[in-house]
Copies of this chain bind each other. A is one copy, B any other.
Amino acid sequence: MEKSKGMLIVVSGFSGVGKGTVVQLVFESMPNLQFSISCTTRKPRAGEENGVEYFFLSEEEFEKKIAAGEFVEYTKTFTNYYGTLKSEIDKPLDRGVDVLLELNVVGAKNIKKLYPDSVTVFITPPSIGALKARLIGRGSETPESLSRRLKEIENESKDICHYDYVVTNNVARTCADEIVNIIRSERLKTSRQNLKNLFVQED
């Protein structure tokens, strides 16, 4: 049996949509799926460990890696860099391991360009209105950051059509199951299978 290459799955979603919980449930259902750890220059939050949630780098270290072409995608937010190392994706894929990346719409677009057979999934709320209400209800945002997030939602909305799949996060478990199903079904695509194995003559 010839081993086929791993599959790259990219998950995006609006800020506040509950993406983290959904992705975690996907990993619980698929223990062989590998999470690709991103690099960031932001400071670790309480409980976060280097090499678990992120690789925490200094700005200097990050920029050195940019210069060396080590990232498949990176973005700079207002204050921090976020990026995905090529090695973190290619190594497991070559071993036949499926890799899941959590990225924003810009990162997802870059990945799709470099890995055209990657599978992109966008998580939406049942409605944009509900998401806005949830963000406002949280009360954890300053008026500035709230208006920035609402603006971000508007901008990201325009890119949903470029994703392969759109799933709705109404109940996190259901949404995660849908993503698990997508991954399993994509594995059955003719283009991802090695049909040669089928035609091995045994008679």
Interface bits A109-134 vs B (CB < 8 Å: 1, else 0): 00000000000001010011110110
User: Contact partner of A182 among B161, B178, B188, B201, CB < 8 A?
Assistant: B188
Contact B201 A129 (CB under 8 A): yes
Write out the residue numbers on chain B whose beta carbons fall within 8 Å of the beta carbon of A67: none
A72 touches B (CB below 8 Å): no
Smallest Cβ-Cβ distance to A163: which chain B residue: B190
Smallest Cβ-Cβ distance to A127: which chain B residue: B202
A160 touches B (CB below 8 Å): yes
Write out the residue numbers on chain B whose beta carbons fall within 8 Å of the beta carbon of A133: 203
A93 touches B (CB below 8 Å): no
Contact A195 B181 (CB under 8 A): no
A198 touches B (CB below 8 Å): yes
Write out the residue numbers on chain B whose beta carbons fall within 8 Å of the beta carbon of A165: 185, 188-190
Contact B166 A190 (CB under 8 A): yes
Interface bits A179-203 vs B (CB < 8 Å: 1, else 0): 0011011101110010100111111
Q: How far is the CB of A101 from chain B (nearest CB, A)?
A: 18
User: Contact partner of A185 among B129, B182, B193, CB < 8 A?
Assistant: B182
Write out the residue numbers on chain B whose beta carbons fall within 8 Å of the beta carbon of A202: 127-130
Write out the residue numbers on chain B whose beta carbons fall within 8 Å of the beta carbon of A160: 190, 195, 198
A157 touches B (CB below 8 Å): yes
Write out the residue numbers on chain B whose beta carbons fall within 8 Å of the beta carbon of A167: 188
Q: Which residues of chain A from 150 to 167 have a CB within 8 Å of any chain B CB?
A: 157, 160-167
Q: Which residues of A are at the interface with B, using a C-beta cutoff of 8 A?
A: 122, 124, 127-130, 132-133, 157, 160-167, 178, 181-182, 184-186, 188-190, 193, 195, 198-203
Q: List 14 A-B contacts (CB under 8 A).
A: A127-B200, A128-B199, A128-B200, A129-B203, A132-B203, A160-B190, A160-B198, A161-B190, A164-B189, A167-B188, A178-B188, A181-B184, A182-B185, A185-B186
